[in-house]
Chains A and B, each alone.
Chain A
Amino acid sequence: AQTVTQSQPEMSVQEAETVTLSCTYDTSESDYYLFWYKQPPSRQMILVIRQEAYKQQNATENRFSVNFQKAAKSFSLKISDSQLGDAAMYFCAYRSFTGANSKLTFGKGITLSVRP
């Protein structure tokens, strides 16, 4: 079974600074997807960024980028120029590439606070 581990329960960053959130996973599959989701206090789960395992290039979405290390099974999220609106809970998630509607496995999440 796949597992996703987020070992840091909380992190804090100064506004405008950069922060990296860690995530590791365990799987025996070679094709899969990895995600970072953001959940602000409104409870709405928002997709931040997605990485396909077969792609060597790290995904980037504006201020958000990942460091995907497939051999190490590591998938960290870097947030640059942190903003107050980035304060939220962040979940790392895994999905196998076995076709449509396979299950998402979530990590425990990390609470990010942004200091003004």
Chain B
Amino acid sequence: SAVISQKPSRDICQRGTSLTIQCQVDSQVTMMFWYRQQPGQSLTLIATANQGSEATYESGFVIDKFPISRPNLTFSTLTVSNMSPEDSSIYLCSVDDRGGTEAFFGQGTRLTVV
């Protein structure tokens, strides 16, 4: 299994500002995944972050709004840029086990934009 530390656990931000969420894993992993969970909703994949290359974004998500860094095999950041109240969600990072089948999740970041 993988232990994932995600920071911050929650934040309240002013509209128009940006927030960077950090995700640290206790082992080296090839890919890291970022999800958004809007209030009362399911998880939606934002992007997949591969070390040494550009992140791959899902339909409806763009790099200018959600820039991602992946400087090494144990760390990634997701920035939510130019925030609006519609960005209020839980953001989660995830990694796979070595077999690439089971996913492990961070504790999530609860973002409220006012």
A: residues with CB less than 8 A from B are: 33, 35, 42-45, 47, 50, 91, 95, 99-104, 106-109
Complex Cα distance A42/B33, Å? Answer: 20
Structural contact, A103 and B45, CB atoms closer than 8 A: yes
CA A56 to CA B23, docked complex, whole Å: 37
Q: Taking the nearest CB of chain B, how far is it from the CB of A107, in angstroms?
A: 6
Identify A108's interface contact among B42, B100, B105, B108, CB under 8 A.
B42
Bound Cα distance A100, B101 (Å): 7
In the assembled complex, the Cα of A87 lies from the Cα of B56 at a distance in Å of 35
Contacts of A106 in B (CB 8 A): 42-43
Contact of B101 among A43, A95, A103 (CB under 8 A): A95
Which of B30, B99, B105 is A45 in contact with, Cβ under 8 Å? B105
B90 interface residue (CB < 8 Å to A)? yes
* Cβ-based interface call for B107 (8 A): yes
How distant is A102 from chain B, measured CB to nearest CB, in Å?
A: 7
Interface size class of B (residues with CB under 8 A): 20 to 34
Within 8 A of A (CB), among B87-114: 90, 92, 94, 96, 99-105, 107-108, 110
- CB-based contact B90/A43 at 8 Å: yes
The answer to the question of B53 belonging to the interface, with a C-beta cut-off of 8 Å to chain A, is no
Decide if B30 touches A104 in the complex (CB within 8 Å).
Answer: no
- Chain B contacts of A99 at CB under 8 A? 100
Closest Cβ of chain B to A28, distance in Å, is 20
Cβ A101 vs Cβ B48 within 8 A: yes
**How near does chain A come to B12, taking the closest CB pair, in angstroms?**
16
**CA–CA, A101 and B48, complex, Å:** 9
Question: Given A42, A95, A100, A104, which contacts B107 in the complex, CB threshold below 8 Å?
Answer: A42
Which A residues touch B94, using CB under 8 A? 45, 104
